[in-house]
Structures are given as C-alpha cells and as structure tokens.
Chains A and B, each alone.
Chain A
Amino acid sequence: MSTRTLAVVSAGLSNPSSTRLLADRLTAAAQAALTGRGITATVEVVELRKHARDLADNLLTGFPNESLRGAVDTVVGADGLIAVTPVFSASYSGLFKTFFDVLDKDSLTGKPVLLGATAGTARHSLVLEHAMRPLFSYLRATVAPTAVFAASEDWAGGDSGTPALTGRVRRAAEELADLVAGRPPAAPADPFADPTTSFEDLLKGL
C-alpha cells in the first residue's frame, strides 16, 4: 500500500464550525476513496483561525512566522488539498484568501484540490464557482470537478431537488482520490538546489 498526505485548510471561525464539519466529512470520504485505491492517506488539518494574527503579520513582514511556516509547509508539501471556507459577503472569507495570498504563487501548481464552502443559505452556493474556482485556477492547481456546498438545511438532509450532502461529498472525494492517485507523491521544489540553467546560459540567452 502506498501513502499520500492530504492537507485540509478550514477557515471556519466559530467552534464548533460547520466549515470544519464539512471539511471533516470531505476528509473522511477522501481517505476512504484513497483506501479503495490502495493508498493510505495521512491527514494534517490547518485551522486558519489559529493563524489569524500570523497571517496579518505575514502581510506586513513578507514572511511567515514559525507557527505559520508549519501550516504553509503542510499545505505546500501535501499530495492533495481540501480547502473549505465560510461564505462572507458573497465570497470566501478574508482569512481564507489571506492564507492563499501569502503562499508563493507557484507553490500549488498541479496540486489536486477539493473545494468546499458553507453558508446559511443555498443561495450562496455559486461562490464555489465564481470565487473559489477562479482563485485556484490562478494558482494553477488541479481542481476536482465537483465542489461541495453545505447550507444550513443540508445538515438536515437538504431540499428534495438536489442529491443529499453525503452523495455530493462522496462524488467529490472520489474525484479528488483519482487526481491524487494519478500523480506521483509531491516533491516540493527546493529553491536552493543547484540551478538547472547555468549562469553562462543565462548570459547567452540575453
């Protein structure tokens, strides 16, 4: 059995939070889906609430402090990412965005990502498509086709017109598992490795 790592970013603010609840459901389903593909997935959860001050500091200083560095390394080094935010003012929360603002813009390139969002009403569900998906497209991540939205009523079974939350979670998790299983384990680029282009070539290329 091979192994992979999943990083989970949850931007919920309350405790307990429905955002974390959705993140946990997605994580458990993704782990199960990976097990079905012969892969053991270890999970590391990053609760952004704990890093609210660290993130504000990072915006000003330009570097993540020790505590935030751990969270950044977890996400950048993972084989797959589950990212879940509450909807604030018709978009992802500022805290959620700030975390992805301080990452190096190339650090999520090609990374399989599963998106989730929560809100009080299903009328916000397109935030997944008009806000979250473009963000991860910009970061050149590989985003699973199904993104999962959970409104308050979903925790009671949802309305009769849409498949139940459990079904959407399972479908999204299978998609993420396919993406994670389909690529080799992550090996983050080392900026201090010997350059692949020699300085002579750099001079000649001018």
Chain B
Amino acid sequence: MQFGIFTVSDITTDPTTGRTPTEAERLQAVLTIAQKAEEVGLDVFALGEHHNPPFFSSSPTTTLAWIAAKTQKLQLSTSTTLITTNDPVKIAEDYAMLQHLAGGRVDLMMGRGNTGPVYPWFGQDIRNGIELAVENYALLRRLWSEDVVDWQGKFRSPLQGFTSTPRPLDGVAPFVWHGSIRSPQIAEQAAYYGDGFFSNHIFWPAEHTQKMVEFYRRRYEHYGHGTADQAIVGLGGQVFMRKNSQDAVNEFRPYFDNAPVYGHGPSLEDFSRETPLTVGSPQQVIERTLGFRDYVGDYQRQLFLIDHAGLPLKTVLEQLDILGEEVVPVLRKEFAALKPAHVPAAPTHASRVAAAGGAKDATVHAGGDSVTGQAPGRTAEEAIR
C-alpha cells in the first residue's frame, strides 16, 4: 500500500498569528514539504491544480518536475488535474513529458473542478462538466495509446494526423485515478477503463465514501477488469497529531475553526464524528485509518491532507515526522498483514511496464524530409526500404 500526502496549494492566513504567507513563501514551503515527504519515507506526493487565488498551483507539472529532480523514489501525482477545462492534448503532452523527466514516477488524478468561473475562463461551461470529463479523457487515452490520432468531438477542435510528443515513457502511459466527491458517473468512468478511483474522503461522511467505492468496485467487476476487491481504490484523509491528543485538539482548533470550506461551521468534534478527520495522538490516527478498510475494503493508496488552513511550515514538517516515524510504518505493516494475496498493489510504472510485456521505445520519428528523403533516427538503409 502507498502512503503519501496531497496538497491543495491554498495560501491561507495563519489564524493564530494573523499572518498570510506570500505566494513565494507558500510555494517554497510546498517544495520543502514534498522533499520532506520522501525523506520520512512516504511514497506519494500529490499536488492540486487551481486557477484562482488563494491557490498558487496553476501549473502542477512545472512544480512536480522540480520535485522529481530533487527526489529519488517519491511517486508524483495530482489532486486533481482538471480534465474538464484543460485541453486534453496539453495534458497528454505535459504529463508524458513529466513522466520522462521523473523516470516514470508519475500518475495523475483526474477531477472536474468545482470553481464555477474557471470553466468560462477556459472557454467551457460548467453544465457540461461530466460530458467534458468523458470526452476529454477518451481523447487523452487515445493520444497516449495511438501514435497518430484522427479525432473529432464536441468540445475541442478536430485533430488530423496528430502525434502527441513525447510518447509515453517505455511505451506505457501514466496510471490514471479519477477523483470525485459525489458523482457516481466518475466512479463509472474509472470502472469502465479499469482505472483507479480516489475518494476525497475529507469533506463528506464515511457512509458516502463507502457507497461510492462499493459502486466503483461493482462496476469494475462488471466491465471485466477483475473481481470487485481487485479494483484500485485510493482515499484521502485529514489528520493532525500530537503526542497527547488534547494538545493536538487545542493546537489544531483555531485552524479548523477558520479553515476554508468548513470553517465557522460545525465544531471540530462534530466534524471529526461526521467525517474521517482525526485530530489526536498518533495511535488514534493509526486506529481510525485502519478502520477505513472496514468500509472500503483493501485499498491501494492513502493520502493525507496536512498542510492547509494556514498551518505553518514548521508544524507541517513536524506532522510529516510523526507520520513517517510513528504512523505509516505501523499502518504499512498492519494493512499488509490484512491484505489477501489476490488484491493488487497500487500500479507503478515498473508494474505497468511488466504487465505490458516489458519496456519498448515508443518514439515516433518524423517522415523523411523533402531534400534527402531521410528521417532523423533512421539509417539510410531503412529509408530506402
């Protein structure tokens, strides 16, 4: 099982000091957090994509490429990549590029985005959200799997003889997760393609996550990708830990009370009961997290949100230390002991290359030029043939 963190890249005032970080500070903080995630032994770092303040992460592949260059083992992902308002051609190019730069340590999580104005800013209409997700993703898959694509659809200009470059590393496209809080259609899409399904698991009650995951698993089996318990499931989660649970509650409460989205609403206690939020000792986080398995089954990826709501960098790094030293090693061992052998691990580049029968170069060389008739990368002999 993979463990990691995901960030939404919010720039939020620290309610205990009244200070708001600059974009530059927050951006640097996230880079530090990502490197720290690898250092403490986490597996995954996922970065959100937003196109409006108070978020900085408009260009996740730039950031992830920087992190890739500074890390060795960390799997890089997104939370989420906007499949609705991004041009699927650009997603195909950007993430294949990142995949090469990161030596295959890349997967993506598709999401629709829920900020109304982002759609018109990118020439789309939020009412077409599901249709855009379906059409754009179908095209994205073709761009990665077919060397030359002729395509026509409803939302994007048609393509004739288009080759998305670079071709996926070793001829194998990045693994894709589909993230959704509340739309069964997205779980259906994930099941149809045999892709992963990631449940936000932060904002809504566990019963809702349970229903979504059950639906996805049932449909995954329906589409013939394996048994329901072999479907690839990821969960979000939100934790704050201190040695003594009351210290955790006291320290986190002002951040909770003023947090974007749910701040000024339910109490920390209410929200902890209604959703998977866990504020307490490392042992409490371990127990609650192990309990997720009771309602979603054996799953492949657990990502925690730990750096939002204005929490200072120093605190976030302390949280990473606790995760890495006390929580994740126990979770790793316990989940592994419970997982039956026929349930697969989270797909990685290596496992996908192996499943495809080994690495193959997928370079598409250009046709011969008009002067010599020769294409780069081809010998004269091949050109004549």
5 tightest A-B contacts by CB?
A: A60-B265, A199-B192, A57-B266, A192-B215, A57-B265
CA separation between A195 and B274, bound complex, in Å?
28
CA separation between A202 and B260, bound complex, in Å?
35
Given A199-B192, A202-B134: A65 touches B208 (CB 8 Å cut-off): no
Chain B binding surface, main DSSP class? helix
A56 at the interface (CB under 8 A from B): yes
8 residue pairs of the A-B complex, CB under 8 angstroms, read: A56-B265, A57-B270, A61-B203, A63-B204, A63-B205, A63-B274, A202-B134, A206-B154
B159 at the interface (CB under 8 A from A): no
**49-63 of chain A: CB within 8 A of chain B:** 56-57, 59-63
**176-206 of chain A: CB within 8 A of chain B:** 191-192, 194-195, 199, 202-203, 206
CA separation between A59 and B262, bound complex, in Å?
9
**147-176 of chain B: CB within 8 A of chain A:** 153-154
Contacts of A63 in B (CB 8 A): 203-205, 208, 274
Cβ of A191 to closest chain B Cβ, rounded Å: 5
Which residue of chain B is the closest to A56 with respect to CB atoms?
B265
CA separation between A106 and B204, bound complex, in Å?
20
Given A60-B265, A63-B204, A65-B266: A206 touches B153 (CB 8 Å cut-off): yes
A199 close to B189 (CB less than 8 A): yes
Contacts of B188 in A (CB 8 A): 195, 199
CA separation between A203 and B223, bound complex, in Å?
15
Which residue of chain B is the closest to A65 with respect to CB atoms?
B274
Which residue of chain B is the closest to A53 with respect to CB atoms?
B266
A66 at the interface (CB under 8 A from B): yes
Task: Indicate which residue in B135, B189, B270 contacts A65 across the interface (CB closer than 8 Å).
Answer: B270
CA separation between A194 and B191, bound complex, in Å?
12
Cβ of B10 to closest chain A Cβ, rounded Å: 16
B219 at the interface (CB under 8 A from A): yes
A194 close to B203 (CB less than 8 A): no
Contacts of A66 in B (CB 8 A): 205, 273-274
CA separation between A202 and B135, bound complex, in Å?
9
Contacts of B134 in A (CB 8 A): 202-203, 206
B219 close to A61 (CB less than 8 A): no
Cβ of B192 to closest chain A Cβ, rounded Å: 4
B266 close to A61 (CB less than 8 A): yes
Task: Indicate which residue in A60, A62, A194 contacts B263 across the interface (CB closer than 8 Å).
Answer: A60
B211 at the interface (CB under 8 A from A): yes
Interface centre among B153, B154, B265 (most CB of A within 10 A): B265
Which residue of chain A is the closest to B130 with respect to CB atoms?
A202
Interface centre among A56, A61, A195 (most CB of B within 10 A): A61
B291 at the interface (CB under 8 A from A): no
Which residue of chain B is the closest to A191 with respect to CB atoms?
B184
